[in-house]
DNA sequence: AATGAATGAGGCTTCATTCAT
DNA sequence: CATGAATGAAGCCTCATTCAT
């Protein structure tokens, strides 16, 4: 019981941090802001995270596991891939990236300042994993005759760039409309 | 025009600011850092820019004019567009975005924190201009039979997202190789 | 007498406090440090001492009783004083002061900051008692022809200064060797 | 001129720090206290000293030079030492230690917490120098027949202990009276 | 009695801005 | 114009104390 309560506060703090880091960057976000957003007192933040940097690190690295889990699941289903399934997959990616705005902004924030944040390493590794995942899809798709001839590597670079740019280059006007546009454009990157 | 004499120092400060804001963000960058990078003394920064925010604003807004200039020139040449010319145009965009790393990182920094920076408005306007420019290309290309049927609006969204994501989602390993990959992928967004 | 049961923990805390206050001073020593050193939990410290200041006060004042007890005993034996007994007495003082390093450091810490700690008063009183004790020895020694002519008051000042300085001015290299040096020097203060 | 002004403020801060560190210890002394005592603003302290620790280090180490200078001068005069001169010398030491209360309290504060402060090393070195100085005096005095047979090393330990204890074990009641007592007692340590 | 999570006051430090030289 | 010393607001972090379990 006691543990549960603790984890709840930790998560409140985590989400407050994620939101505010995403919206205002690292330096502009104060511990006070985070505490207020999380509904806890100033000092409580330090009960759960050693310092501001540790909370930021958690915000950057912990969510990666969810992505990884997703990739594992998706990879298993690749054996029985069809054109429709592949379109669904891309659609899922778009939706997924669209949903995780806060997290992606934090990611982008780190990528944009690679000399400043050590977390960059973890992200580089993850980007490699993701591109491998995409390359595997492209290869399988070409083998099954679903996709036209492509350089899997080029597609993986372009697709990741597109997903990041899509979510991060626009603020949220006409979101629904854009989402469809992005799905169509994303398919073109696969040669569809 | 008395200002002309000192424009050199102003520019040194400007470029120092651009570089450091790009690499470390707004808050982490100190006036001292900028002065040192620019090779001027601390106080001199305030001789040319009223305060830190004014310098940042300049870094965000002033370079837009160069982009605009480029778009105007390119628009004039659209009348005589051919497939090869269009491929060249896309190649130029890729090269251009690749070159302007510092500036684009600053742009992305502002886009990522729209509630924080007033400069966002200017950037939104510019994004609209750029997408209009792209839509004009797509329409002309379709009219001339160079491009397959597309939604010009969708292409414009996807293409801008792609350009931003391309430059900003990767740090600089294997840059030359990636550039080619990006050119190929970009053409796919136009249906090529 | 219900308190008796728990006296063990109280003493653990007391000695942890004495050691850490001696080694790091009052402010630098945290309740957490004390709890860890004492092998009890954080909150338990507050079960036995109302607050940090109360524990410190205990560390400063309680050990004085042991000194007082010693002086009483020694005073009784003064009637039958001989030169050898007096030398033994001085040797005991040196040994005693050498042994009580932690406590003397705490004492010195308070003496060094008399405006800061209320405990100073108690220590002043005790210093007076100790000097009276020394003066009594000197007078008795002169009466018995054991000691050369001296100002008892001057000796009492000098001897106390010497005892304090001896233990507190040196860290613990070559301790055994120094102890002998100090015994010889101490006797000189009595004119021997 | 500009330098002069700077050095003046630096010295004000230095002396404020010395006084307050002596009276209240390191942790209890705040930068704010120092600034107020020095008559400068809070931020100005950091213009002259990188941080609190650096100011403290300066307070501990810089005054040593004055002592060293004194020892050099005194050493030169040792050739023509007489009993009267030696008594004067001891008197000077007493006076000197009596005057430098603030500094000696800071020294004692560091000696009392050797694990806490790196400055201890410098002080250990200085203590060695001082004891060498004393040993030289004792040897010369014995050679010239001024002093009775002694172990120069033992005297050097005892004398330094005495000087420190004298200044630090008593607060300032009856200062003048004590000073004389201490001078007489100090001579006894030399066998006089 | 024992524990340790929650709290927030207080201190060090950074840094934008001002202004005298 | 150029400089950099002076200033103090604001933020991170520590830690004594409280209190519910």
What's the CA–C1' distance between A3 and E6, in Å? Answer: 15
Q: Which nucleotide is nearest to A29 (CA to C1')?
A: F11
Judged by C1' against the alpha carbon of A10, the nearest nucleotide is E5
CA dist A126 and C82 (Å) reads 86
Secondary structure, 3-state, chain A: CHHHHHHHHHHHHHHHHHHHHHHHHHHHCCHHHHHHHHCCCHHHHHHHCCCHHHHHHHHHHCCHHHHHHHHHHHHHHHHHCCHHHHHHHHHHHHHHHHHCHHHHHHHHHHHHCCCCCCCHHHHHHHHHHHHHHHHHHHHHHHHCCCCCCCCHHHHHHHHHHHHHHHHHCCCCCCHHHHHHHHHHHHHHHCCC
Return the minimum-mean-pLDDT range out of B40-44, C15-19, D179-183.
D179-183
Q: B100 or D177: whose pLDDT is higher?
A: B100
Walk me through the domains of chain A, giving residue ranges and CATH numbers.
Answer: 2-60 (1.10.10.60), 63-189 (1.10.357.10)
For residue D78, the tally of other CB atoms under 10 A from its CB is 17
State the average pLDDT over residues D66-90: 87
Among A21, A22, A112, A179, the strongest candidate for a mutation testing the B interface, having the largest count of B CBs within 10 A, is A112
Kindly report the average pLDDT of chain B as a whole number. 88
From the Cβ of D72, is strand E under 7 Å away? no
pLDDT at D173: 59
Band the pLDDT of D4: cuts 50, 70, 90.
very low
Q: What are the distances in angstroms from CA D13 to CA C181, D3, D52, D63, D103? A: 41, 15, 11, 14, 14
Q: Is C86 helix (H, G, I), strand (E, B) or coil?
A: helix
Give the confidence band of B1 by pLDDT, cuts at 50, 70, 90. Answer: very low
Closest CB to A111 among B28, B114, B169: B169
SS (H, E, C) chain B: CHHHHHHHHHHHHHHHHHHHHHHHHHHHCCHHHHHHHHCCCHHHHHHHCCCHHHHHHHHHHCCHHHHHHHHHHHHHHHHHCCHHHHHHHHHHHHHHHHHCHHHHHHHHHHHHCCCCCCCHHHHHHHHHHHHHHHHHHHHHHHHCCCCCCCCHHHHHHHHHHHHHHHHHCCCCCCHHHHHHHHHHHHHHHCCC
Query: In chain B, what residues touch A28 (CB-CB under 8 Å)?
Result: 26-27, 113, 116
Which residues numbered 88-147 in chain A sit less than 7 A from strand E, measured from CB? none
The distance of A64 to chain B (nearest Cα, Å) reads 16
Provide the pLDDT for residue D1.
36
Q: Nearest protein residue to F19's C1' (by CA)? A: C43
Does D contact C via 3+ CB–CB distances below 8 Å? Answer: yes
pLDDT tens-digit map of C139-186? 999 999 999 999 999 999 999 999 989 888 887 655 667 888 899 999
Q: What's the confidence (pLDDT) of residue C158? A: 92
pLDDT digits (tens, 9 = 90+) for C10-55: 999 999 999 999 999 999 999 999 999 999 999 999 999 999 999 9
D24: CB within 7 A of chain E nucleic strand = no
Residue whose pair of structure tokens reads 């100073």 in the numeric block: C120
Taking only the tens place, the pLDDT of each residue in A29-73 is 999 999 999 999 999 999 999 999 999 999 999 999 888 888 888
- Interface probe for C, chosen from D21, D24, D25, D27 (most Cβ of C below 10 Å), is D25
Write out pLDDT tens, residues B164-188. Answer: 888 888 776 556 678 888 998 999 9
Q: Is the CB of A43 under 7 A from strand E?
A: yes
Does the pLDDT at position D175 exceed 70?
A: no
Binary contact (C115, D153; C-beta < 8 A): no
For the CA of A14 and the C1' of E15, the distance in angstroms is 28
CA distance C125 to chain D (A): 12
pLDDT(A6) > 70: no
Instruction: Identify nearest nucleotide to residue C46 by CA to C1′ distance.
Output: F17
């Amino acid at each position: 019981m006691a543990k549960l309560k603790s984890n709840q506060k930790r998560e409140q703090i985590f989400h407050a941090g994620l939101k505010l880091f995403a919206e205002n960057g690292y330096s502009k976000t104060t511990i006070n802001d985070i505490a207020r957003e999380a509904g806890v007192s100033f000092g409580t933040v330090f009960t759960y995270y050693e310092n501001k940097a540790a909370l930021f690190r958690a915000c950057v690295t912990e969510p990666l596991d969810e992505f990884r889990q997703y990739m594992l699941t998706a990879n298993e289903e690749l054996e029985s891939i069809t054109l429709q399934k592949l379109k669904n997959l891309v659609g899922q990616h778009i939706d997924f990236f669209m949903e995780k705005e806060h997290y992606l902004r934090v990611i982008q924030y780190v990528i944009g300042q690679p000399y400043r944040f050590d977390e960059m390493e973890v992200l580089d590794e993850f980007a490699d994993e993701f591109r491998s995942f995409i390359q595997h899809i492209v290869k399988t798709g070409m083998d099954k005759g679903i996709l036209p001839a492509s350089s899997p590597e080029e597609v993986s670079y372009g697709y990741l760039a597109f997903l990041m740019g899509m979510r991060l280059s626009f603020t949220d006007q006409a979101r629904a409309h854009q989402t469809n546009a992005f799905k169509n454009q994303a398919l073109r990157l696969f040669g569809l």
